[in-house]
């Protein structure tokens, strides 16, 4: 597999959330860089702060970030700025996040390049944080930002707080900027049915990893350890930072969390913990909101979590899982939640990624029947295989929900999840087969002007032909694997739906046989004899195995139907 192209995300926070013209001026500078996609602009009036999210190749993202920082410095005067969120700069913080094809160390180096340019060319002091930090004590953003803009001049007078780049005094209107590289961070606000910032802070202190400072009961002052450092009572959640605040535009207080490690504290764990902590203090969580974007897996995990709490099957499609997550977390409490805009994978998706599978059935059939050679048999094999896996998943889902089978729902749910995973993979292969065919055509159109060009063309055709075989082989493997589901559902599934397990088996075997035809028709174009022999052998063995599973599944189906209707 080819290494994915290097992509990084930038999530700058600008100290302007109330003037649409200024916000748009900054956004336009990001859009002006070719190769960068501005995915999200999220302004907040109460915080007077806007979070923007954009993605691209490292050099393009760094150029866009520089232009945006320059535009913010021209548009924002912190001497006149007020808002709920702590800030020390017109561009308060500018993190770079590795997305694909690039390691954290290289991302941190790009952050240093950006910081040096901002300091040298714009005259704005820059502090490096997280993975780009020059010193361990500067990794934490809150430590750097302590004292905010108003205390910046006094802070920078201390040689220990000399910036990493730029002048040793604050920019008069733009303050200072914090630039770094970090893992994906989710900015997540949880809504409370109170207007009390103090109570919201209490809940935040219950949750955040650093917890709260312990008070000495005899003096009423913070207790300290032997070294003079404040003693702390840790909070419940690892990798979580948080504060409480009141948002006038909503008329409520919120617990504002940064989830810095979704593996340690998933979104739904933070939400449930907030519900418990709020209830313990006589409060109620009414919903939540995401600032910026979130990985799809975080919402899928939340959807599964809340379905499992209801003892319902988890074997549903991604859209259903996202819907359950949005409703369970109350992500639409304050404003409509648009998955296409708020989920990073959806926001990055290109229209051609799923051109065929997004078609209506009628349009797909018409496209298949047209004079165009694609979609061809390989894509159709993927569609048929996906329908087969879906039939098996449906029987498992219906069985999981049957009254009186409550002690078996988890088993059926596991089977349904396997069916959904197979259907999802096969749907991806529908368009992948067409992309492989397009690559083969492109290779055949390469120049044949001389010996060197012919060699390049031959190598490209060989690679494209192997890909055109690998894709149907993947259809074969996935469709054959899904037949275990149909075979099991034919034996133990809901009797009234047993026939659907048979339909699923028929579809799956058809997908295997159809994909095998695609393998065989492409093999003569290969020069790699060993690759060709292995592909043909795998396809033939899979066809034989699929036939056996189809026969046994249909035998079980017929026996069940006879047992139901006969007697």
Q: Which long-range contacts (CB under 8 A, 24 or more apart) does 349-356 make?
A: 352/431, 353/431, 354/427, 354/431, 355/431, 355/434, 356/430, 356/431, 356/434
Q: 230 has which bridge partners? A: 224
Q: Which helix (H) or strand (E) holds 257?
A: strand 252-259
Q: How many residues does the chain have?
A: 567
Residue 125 has pLDDT above 70, yes or no: yes
Q: How far apart are CA 17 and CA 447, in angstroms?
A: 54
Q: How far apart are CA 237 and CA 260, in angstroms?
A: 11
- The residue whose two tokens read 């649409």 is 20
Q: How far apart are CA 547 and CA 309, in angstroms?
A: 39
Give the per-residue pLDDT at 567: 41
Q: How far apart are CA 299 and CA 322, in angstroms?
A: 6
Asked if 169 and 153 count as a contact pair (C-beta separation under 8 A), the reply is yes
Q: Strands 13-14, 186-192: parallel, antiparallel or unpaired by DSSP? A: unpaired
Give the per-residue pLDDT at 4: 59
Mean pLDDT, residues 299-317? 96
Q: 259 has which bridge partners? A: 186, 240
Predicted confidence (pLDDT) per residue in 483-518, tens digit: 999 999 999 999 999 999 999 999 999 999 999 999
Helix then strand then coil, % of the chain, to nearest 5: 55, 15, 30
pLDDT classification of 229: cutoffs 50, 70, 90: confident
Ordered domains of the chain (ranges, CATH) = 7-181 (3.30.990.10), 186-348 (3.30.70.670), 351-565 (1.20.120.680)
Among this protein's residues, is 171 annotated catalytic? no
CA 49 to chain centre: 24
Predicted confidence (pLDDT) per residue in 160-171, tens digit: 999 999 999 999
Q: Which of 81, 5, 6, 8 is nearest to 49 (CA)?
A: 81
Handedness of CA 153, 158, 159, 163 (dihedral sign): negative
pLDDT classification of 100: cutoffs 50, 70, 90: confident
The overall pTM is greater than 0.85? no
Asked if 9 and 348 count as a contact pair (C-beta separation under 8 A), the reply is no
Q: What is the DSSP string of 494-506?
A: -GGGHHHHHHHHH
* Residue scoring higher pLDDT (192 or 223): 192
pLDDT classification of 564: cutoffs 50, 70, 90: low
Give the per-residue pLDDT at 238: 96
Q: Which helix (H) or strand (E) holds 551?
A: helix 529-565
350-359, 380-389, 551-560: least confident range: 350-359
Show the DSSP H helices in 146-233 as ranges: 152-156, 197-207
Q: How far apart are CA 469 and CA 452, in angstroms?
A: 26
Among this protein's residues, is 433 annotated catalytic? yes
What distance, in Å, lies between the first and last C-alpha atoms of the chain? Answer: 56
Asked if 502 and 557 count as a contact pair (C-beta separation under 8 A), the reply is yes
Catalytic residue among 60, 206, 433, 500: 433
Q: Which helix (H) or strand (E) holds 453?
A: helix 451-492
Handedness of CA 241, 246, 249, 252 (dihedral sign): positive
* Percentage with pLDDT > 70 across the chain: 99
Predicted confidence (pLDDT) per residue in 153-204, tens digit: 999 999 999 999 999 999 999 999 999 999 888 999 999 999 999 999 999 9
Q: How far is CA 367 from CA 21, 362, 437, in A?
A: 45, 9, 15
Residue 266 has pLDDT above 90, yes or no: yes
Give the per-residue pLDDT at 1: 38
Q: How far apart are CA 419 and CA 501, in angstroms?
A: 11
What is the overall mean pLDDT for the chain? 94
Q: Which of 10, 12, 11, 15 is nearest to 149 (CA)?
A: 15
Predicted confidence (pLDDT) per residue in 203-220, tens digit: 999 999 999 988 888 887
pLDDT classification of 2: cutoffs 50, 70, 90: very low
Catalytic residue among 85, 183, 323, 414: 85
């Amino acid at each position: 597999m080819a290494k994915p192209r290097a992509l990084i995300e930038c999530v700058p926070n600008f100290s302007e959330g109330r003037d649409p013209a200024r916000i748009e001026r900054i956004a336009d500078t990001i859009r002006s860089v070719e190769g960068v996609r501005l995915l999200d602009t999220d302004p907040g009036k109460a915080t007077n702060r806007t979070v923007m999210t954009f993605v691209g190749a490292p050099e393009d993202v760094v150029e866009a970030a520089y232009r945006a920082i320059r535009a913010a410095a021209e548009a924002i005067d912190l001497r006149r700025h007020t808002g709920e969120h702590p800030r020390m700069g017109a561009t308060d913080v500018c993190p770079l996040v590795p997305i694909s094809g690039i390691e954290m160390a290289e991302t941190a180096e790009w952050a240093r390049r950006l910081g040096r340019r901002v300091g040298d060319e714009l005259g704005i002091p820059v502090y490096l944080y997280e993975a780009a930090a020059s010193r361990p004590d500067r990794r934490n953003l809150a430590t750097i930002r302590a004292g905010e803009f108003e205390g910046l001049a006094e802070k920078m007078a201390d040689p220990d707080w000399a910036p990493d780049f730029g002048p040793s005094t604050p920019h008069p209107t733009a303050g200072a900027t914090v630039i770094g590289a970090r893992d994906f961070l989710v900015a997540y606000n949880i809504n409370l049915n109170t207007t009390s910032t103090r109570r919201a802070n209490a809940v935040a202190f219950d949750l955040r990893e650093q917890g709260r400072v312990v008070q000495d009961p005899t003096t009423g002052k913070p207790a300290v350890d032997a070294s003079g450092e404040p003693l702390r009572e840790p909070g419940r959640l690892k990798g979580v930072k948080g504060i409480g605040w009141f948002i006038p535009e909503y008329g409520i207080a919120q617990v504002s969390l940064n989830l810095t490690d979704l593996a340690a504290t998933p979104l739904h764990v933070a939400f449930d913990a907030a519900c418990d902590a709020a209830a313990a203090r006589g409060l109620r969580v009414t919903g939540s909101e995401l600032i910026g974007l979130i990985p799809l897996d975080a919402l899928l995990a939340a959807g599964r979590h809340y379905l499992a709490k209801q003892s319902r099957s988890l074997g549903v499609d991604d859209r259903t899982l996202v819907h359950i997550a949005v409703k369970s977390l109350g992500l639409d409490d304050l404003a409509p939640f648009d998955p296409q805009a708020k989920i990073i994978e959806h926001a990055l998706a290109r229209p051609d990624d799923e051109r065929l599978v997004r078609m209506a059935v009628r349009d797909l059939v018409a496209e298949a029947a047209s004079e165009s050679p694609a979609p061809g048999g390989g894509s159709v094999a993927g569609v048929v295989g996906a329908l087969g896996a879906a039939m098996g998943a449906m029987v498992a889902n219906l069985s999981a929900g049957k009254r009186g089978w409550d002690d078996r729902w988890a088993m059926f749910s596991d089977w349904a999840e396997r069916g959904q995973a197979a259907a999802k993979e096969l749907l991806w292969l529908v368009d992948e087969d067409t992309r492989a065919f397009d690559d083969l055509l492109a290779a055949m159109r390469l120049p044949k002007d001389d010996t060197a060009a012919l060699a390049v063309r031959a190598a490209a055709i060989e690679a494209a032909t192997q890909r055109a075989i690998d894709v149907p082989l993947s259809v074969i493997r996935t469709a054959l694997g899904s037949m275990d589901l149909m075979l099991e559902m034919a034996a133990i599934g809901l009797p009234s739906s047993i026939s659907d397990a048979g339909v699923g088996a028929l579809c799956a075997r058809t997908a295997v046989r159809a994909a095998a035809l695609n393998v065989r028709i492409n093999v003569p174009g290969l020069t790699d004899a060993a690759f060709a022999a292995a592909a043909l052998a795998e396809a033939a063995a899979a066809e034989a195995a699929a036939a056996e599973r189809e026969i046994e599944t249909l035998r079980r189906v017929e026996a069940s139907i006879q047992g139901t209707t006969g007697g």
